[in-house]
Each structure stands twice: as structure tokens, then as C-alpha cells.
């Protein structure tokens, strides 16, 4: 295996907690939950009324008028986050060789779902005879990756991963391995999602896993997940190259593990997540005692949280009581295909600042979730390394390991 090390030099985010890293960080560590009544669509006929929506995002201030005719919110979030990540990293592509040696690997669960929803309403409810001429490129899952490529001139490996709620962790992990193996020297990677559309909310309503109240991961009185929207991007670079150019090194990506449960399309299984975490630790060449924090998948459903708690205990054994756990979905909602990217940013910030984000809305310990939950208030502690979990419908698991370089 190549000895090349991979570091995070830039991060960017658009989320319900804030439309840039500074505001996101401030709200994240203060434990502010952005879950609120849905404002963007009429939810009078939907059982649940709350989500974590992106607010105060002024697309007209960020994109030219002609761009707005083509680039829609799902891609807008990704491009905006990528711009921030690139600016904060200071990375530049001064020649064709560097552009060819950079990858763009993005993620989404559903792509331009909101645009398709509007098209179907126009066709089937309003009996319109035509659709927008650009609806296909607007809504295709890889549009975010393509727009980032066109804006930056990066022309190395560019593609999109879609594995439901594990999409972003898969994308970031593949970008990490691409750099470590020597395929490329840098990558822009992350995910975006805009799931707040009428048909999608009705679909989630039918699954009966969405809370009508709020998201309380690992709490005994948890009542389900809450959807969120947004996007996040990271700039990854080979460590020596980043150091040579004086890049700000925020954290190291040390390991990646991925597995399939081969069990059930919606019901979680503990074995797959356990193997994914163990694979990630092995890939990172780290012992369990090195891990001080787990950014949990933590959806606040009964089945997921108890399963993940058991998986953490199985993986960490006697060290498990020393591993702090929180699910930041309690604040920014479950952003589906973007979840791993937003949570990667949260994990990088935790390692860089020495502050672990809280598990908001926590009210009562659950014996079935026997882990050290960071209840409601951030915890100041510098940890050596952290795990970020993503577990998806279909039994697809993706786990990242980050190391502090403070």
C-alpha cells in the first residue's frame, strides 16, 4: 500500500446551521438545533411539519442570472460549499497537469429531486405540454460534480456516488484512497441534497420513521429522524504537497472502511457496521484506544440508535466508555446523501478546535443505547482521532477515520 498521507486543507458548508463554516461552527458547538417548521412548501396534508431547511441562502447573489437558469439548489449548495473549501485551502491549479491530477468526487441520494417534483406537478396536475429544456442536466445526480469541474477547470477523475445515506462517506473515502494510491494528488469531495419536496415528504411519511416533533438521537424518548437539506465539500491533498505550499492542514484522513449487511433493505444489522468500523481502523493502522470521539450516524429511530450503540460497544470493547458519542443530525437534520459530508466537516472542526459537538435534544438515557452521549452541551477535550459513521438503507455502510494534527 502506498505510504502517501492525505490531509484536509479546506472545508465548506451550506446547511440549516449556517451557510458558511463560521456560522455552522458557532451554531454546532452551541448546540443550537435548526429543526423548525417547514416554510418552503405547503405541508398541511403531511403528518410531520418540521425539517432542517437551509435559510437565507441568496442564490442571486452567488450566481449570475444566466447560471441560475441552469444550476438549481441541489447543485447550488455543492458549488457554494466547494467555493468556500477551495478558498479556505488556498489551492490553485496553475497548469494543465495539476488540473488533471485533481479529482472531483461528489455524492447525493436523489440529485435534483425538487426540480423533478415541479416538472411532474406541471405535467400531471397542470397539464402543461412542455417541460423546461434543461430539466435533464439540471436534475441529473452528477450535475454538481460537473458544475464544480467547469467552474474550477479541474479535469481529473470526476464522478458522483449514490448510496443513499452513506453516499458522502463513500465519496470522501474514495477520494482519500485515490490520493493515497497515487492516482491523483488532490480532490474536491463531499455531497449535497435537497429533499424538501412534496412527493419526497409523502414518501418518507409512508415509511413512518420521521418524527413529528424533533430529532433526539440515543434518547429513550426518541421518535424518529427529521429531514434536513444542504451540502458540504472538503479539499483533500497529499500531505507533503500540502505542507510544501503552506496549506492550512485541518486534519488527516487516516482510514476508510465500507461493507454491506446483505440483510434487509431497511432494517439495520449490527454485523455490517461493526465490520466497517473495524475495517476503517485497520485501514488507518490505529488501535481502538486512539479513538476519542464517534460522530454517529444516529438517526433517532429506535432500531438504528440501539444497533449503532451495540456496534460501538462491540468494536471498542473495554475502551467504549471512553469514547464520546454524538449525532449532529440532532441539529442539522438528516441530510441523506449529504449527511456524511456535513458530519465530516463537524468532525474535522472537533479535532481542530478541541471541542466535541453535542447531541442536542437529549432528555433521557436509554439502556439500549449504552454509550457516552455528549448530552446537549459541547465537551472541551482534544482527542487523537475520531470516527464518522454513515449507514444507509440497503445495508450499505461507510466509515471514515480522522486524525488530529494539532
List the domain boundaries for the chain: 6-244, 255-403
**Cell 449503532, located at residue:** 308
pLDDT at 183 over 50: yes
For helices 271-284 and 302-316, the axis angle rounded to 10 degrees is 40
d(CA 15, CA 345): 11
Task: Report d(CA 275, CA 282) in Å as an integer.
Answer: 10
Contact 12, 253 (CB under 8 A): no
User: pLDDT at residue 2 above 80?
Assistant: no
> Left (φ > 0), alpha (ψ -120 to 50) or beta: where does 127 sit?
left
Q: In whole angstroms, give the CA distance from residue 251 to residue 351.
A: 7
Instruction: Say if residues 11 and 88 touch (Cβ distance below 8 Å).
Output: yes
Query: In the numeric block, which cell numbers belong to residue 159?
Result: 464522478
Residue 334 known to be catalytic: yes
CA distance 190 to 232: 6
> What distance in Å separates the CA atoms of residue 73 and residue 81, rounded to the nearest whole number?
12
Share the mean pLDDT of the chain. Answer: 96
CA-closest candidate to residue 237, choices 4, 2, 406, 3: 4
- How many whole angstroms separate alpha carbon 163 and alpha carbon 395? 10
Q: How far is CA 366 from its chain centroid? A: 26
Round to whole Å and give the CA distance between 78 and 269: 31
* 319 noted as active-site residue: no
Q: Average the pLDDT over 340-363 and give the result.
A: 98
Predicted structure pTM score: 0.97
Q: What percent of the chain has pLDDT over 70?
A: 100
Asked whether the beta carbons of 188 and 233 are under 8 A apart, the reply is: yes
Taking CA atoms, 287 is separated from 279, 281, 313, in Å, by 12, 7, 15
The contacts found for 315-323 with CB under 8 angstroms, 24 or more apart, are 315/274, 315/277, 315/278, 315/281, 315/288, 316/288, 316/291, 317/288, 319/288, 319/289, 319/291, 320/371, 320/372, 321/372, 322/289, 322/292, 322/372, 323/291, 323/292, 323/293, 323/294, 323/371, 323/372
Residue-wise pLDDT tens digits, 298-349: 999 999 999 999 999 999 999 999 999 999 999 999 999 999 999 999 999 9
pLDDT given at position 86? 98
Q: Where are the beta strands (DSSP E) in 171-250?
A: 186-193, 230-238
Fold equal for 6-244 and 255-403: yes
Angle formed at CA 355 by CA 24 and CA 259, multiple of 5 degrees: 80
Residue range 56-100, pLDDT digits in tens: 999 999 999 999 989 999 999 999 999 999 999 999 999 999 999
CB-CB contact of 141 with 111 (8 Å): yes
Other beta carbons less than 10 A from residue 227's beta carbon:
25
**Does 255-403 carry CATH code 3.40.630.30?**
no
- The one catalytic residue in 165, 215, 332, 369 is 165
Q: Rounded mean pLDDT of 201-223?
A: 97
- Residue 350 to residue 390: CA distance in whole angstroms: 18
Catalytic residue among 170, 215, 297, 332: 297
Distance of alpha carbon 350 from alpha carbon 209, whole angstroms: 29
In the structure grid, which three cell numbers stand for residue 2, read together?
502506498
232-276 confidence digits (pLDDT tens): 999 999 999 999 999 999 999 999 999 999 999 999 999 999 999
- Are the CB atoms for 201 and 227 separated by under 8 Å? yes
Q: What is the CATH number of domain 6-244?
A: 3.40.47.10
How many other C-beta atoms can be found within 10 angstroms of the C-beta atom of residue 58? Answer: 8
User: 1 pLDDT exceeds 70?
Assistant: no
Residue of 215, 332, 334, 369 marked catalytic: 334
How many CA atoms, within 13 angstroms, populate the side-chain half-sphere of residue 31? 15
Task: Give tens-digit pLDDT for 372-395.
Answer: 999 999 999 999 999 999 999 999
Amino acid at each position: 500500500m502506498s505510504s502517501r498521507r492525505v490531509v484536509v486543507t479546506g472545508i465548506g458548508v451550506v446547511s440549516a446551521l449556517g451557510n458558511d463554516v463560521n456560522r455552522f461552527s458557532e451554531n454546532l458547538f452551541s448546540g443550537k438545533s435548526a429543526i423548525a417548521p417547514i416554510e418552503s412548501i405547503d405541508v398541511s396534508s403531511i403528518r410531520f411539519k418540521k425539517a432542517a431547511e437551509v435559510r437565507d441562502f441568496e442564490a442571486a447573489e452567488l450566481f449570475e442570472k444566466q447560471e441560475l437558469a441552469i444550476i438549481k439548489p441541489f447543485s447550488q449548495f455543492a458549488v457554494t460549499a466547494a467555493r468556500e473549501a477551495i478558498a479556505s485551502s488556498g489551492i490553485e491549479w496553475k497548469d494543465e497537469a495539476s488540473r488533471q491530477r485533481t479529482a472531483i468526487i461528489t455524492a447525493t441520494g436523489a440529485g435534483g429531486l425538487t426540480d423533478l417534483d415541479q416538472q411532474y406537478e406541471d405535467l400531471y396536475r397542470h397539464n402543461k405540454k412542455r417541460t423546461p429544456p434543461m430539466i435533464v442536466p439540471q436534475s441529473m445526480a452528477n450535475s454538481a460534480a460537473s458544475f464544480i469541474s467547469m467552474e474550477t477547470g479541474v479535469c481529473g477523475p470526476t464522478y458522483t456516488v449514490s448510496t443513499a445515506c452513506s453516499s458522502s462517506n463513500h465519496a470522501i473515502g474514495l477520494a482519500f484512497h485515490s490520493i493515497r494510491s497515487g492516482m491523483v494528488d488532490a480532490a474536491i469531495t463531499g455531497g449535497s441534497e435537497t429533499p424538501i419536496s412534496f412527493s419526497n415528504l409523502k414518501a418518507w411519511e409512508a415509511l413512518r420513521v420521521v418524527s413529528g416533533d424533533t430529532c433526539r438521537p440515543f434518547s429513550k424518548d426518541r421518535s424518529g429522524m427529521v429531514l434536513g437539506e444542504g451540502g458540504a465539500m472538503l479539499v483533500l491533498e497529499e500531505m507533503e504537497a500540502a505542507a510544501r505550499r503552506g496549506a492550512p492542514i485541518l486534519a488527516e484522513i487516516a482510514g476508510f472502511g465500507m461493507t454491506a449487511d446483505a440483510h434487509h433493505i431497511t432494517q439495520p444489522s449490527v454485523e455490517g457496521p461493526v465490520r466497517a468500523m473495524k475495517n476503517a481502523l485497520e485501514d488507518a493502522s490505529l488501535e481502538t484506544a486512539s479513538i476519542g470521539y464517534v460522530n454517529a450516524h444516529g438517526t433517532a429511530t429506535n432500531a438504528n440508535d440501539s444497533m449503532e450503540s451495540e456496534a460501538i460497544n462491540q468494536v471498542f470493547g473495554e475502551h467504549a466508555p471512553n469514547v464520546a458519542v454524538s449525532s449532529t443530525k440532532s441539529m442539522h437534520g438528516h441530510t441523506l446523501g449529504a449527511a456524511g459530508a456535513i458530519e465530516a466537516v463537524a468532525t474535522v472542526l472537533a479535532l481542530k478546535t478541541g471541542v466535541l459537538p453535542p447531541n442536542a435534544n437529549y432528555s433521557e438515557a436509554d439502556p439500549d443505547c449504552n454509550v457516552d452521549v455528549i448530552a446537549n452541551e459541547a465537551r472541551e477535550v482534544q482527542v487523537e482521532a475520531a470516527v464518522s459513521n454513515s449507514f444507509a438503507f440497503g445495508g450499505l455502510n461507510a466509515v471514515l477515520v480522522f486524525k488530529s494534527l494539532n
